Amino acid sequence: MGNVIIRSRARLFHGHDWVHDNEVLKVTGHPKDGDVVGLKDQRDRFLGSAIFNSRSKIPGRRFSRQRQDLDADFFRRRLTLASACRDKLGISSTARREVWSESDGLPGVILDRYGDCAVLQTLTLAMDQRKELLADAVMETFHPRCLIERNDASVRRAEGLELYTGVLRGEAAGVREVVLGGVTFGVELPGGQKTGLYLDQGDNYALVAQHAAGRRVLDCFSNQGGFALACARAGASHVTAVDISADACAAITSNATRNNVLLDVEEANVFDYLKAAASRGDSYDLIILDPPSFTRDRARLNDALRGYKEIHLRTAQILENGGLLATFCCSHHVSDALFLDVIRDAMIDAKKTARLRAHYFQRPDHPVILGLPESAYLKGYLLEMVPGR
């Protein structure tokens, strides 16, 4: 087994499981990329087993504090543990994230279940090399009718991996109907964003829709209509869903039929849509903002913050007095505090007083590990525009 000796100030000593390239002091034993290595401190003390990829900015990712190989038995154990964690939380297995990478001790492995099908991503080189072993373990543990491979996520490039999708076991199953957050979705596998749906927002559809009855709702960055459909089902007086993608808009329309609700679907850039809505003098009682992460790296953080501020400012301009804004941020580069700062700045420019009503998070099938701040990425707020100020 090769070893990676890490520097004394490495994040691993502060509870993290990653070894960044600038934290590597020495590599011994000539490990190949994708091998399992031992992590050691400068006094030769063993710190755990990690997957190794010299081409990555994160050449070491610890997956166990013991000496451990990546064999079939290990994969079955980890899958079973991950699944038990979701069962305990009472999350329905018809649409849930069964395995979430580092949070479940399988760095780079994502497994989502949609009804009788499962979707696998292997986003690190080591896990990609052991894809067949993993696929067998998934079949033995969950017995899905088919296992889809959704390896078109761009993060694979950072590990030197190609992007593609395919079918690993069984046959492509076409459109599956699944219920998430009380809404019925048609999911085409492989298809859609991420592995099919934004499972991380599952609980928030219902939480936000609690406030929708009798309100005029605008769902921005709607994707397949999660918030819009939940609000329409909850008795909103009118719902508009906006997304820039034609495929997403087509999905919203067919999901509306599935849920037996009516809504307006607008294929548009939200920035343009909000600007036009403000100049038309439109007004809404509940607006949802759930943009994609505007930045994948810290370097472009300021541009991202400008984007977040702009949509909040425009939204505040078209919200009725007493109206509600449910706003989400899925970038881990933007901390909770920073996100609130941006919203506050926008409210100052809009000359509005906002009252904080609720705090939202990612659904717990995306578990947050205390030592891995990156695992807490989705946050949201419900704000009320205080009337008469």
* Active-site amino acid positions: 330
* Least Cβ distance, residue 312 to ligand SAH (angstroms): 14
36-40 and 164-169 beta bridge pairing: unpaired
Q: How many Å apart are CA 172 and CA 148, to the nearest integer?
A: 7
Residue 97, CA distances (Å) to 117, 153, 292, 334, 366 in order: 12, 16, 19, 23, 7
319-329 and 354-361 beta bridge pairing: unpaired
Q: Is 324 helix (H, G, I), strand (E, B) or coil?
A: strand
264-267 and 238-243 beta bridge pairing: parallel
Helix intervals (H) in the chain: 72-88, 125-129, 131-142, 202-209, 226-233, 246-258, 270-280, 301-318, 336-350
Assigned token pair, 95: 């649409």
Q: How many Å apart are CA 33 and CA 35, to the nearest integer?
A: 6
Residue 100, CA distances (Å) to 54, 68, 369 in order: 23, 19, 11
Task: Return residues touching ligand SAH (CB under 6 A).
Answer: 193, 198, 201, 221-224, 226-227, 242-245, 248, 269-271, 290, 292
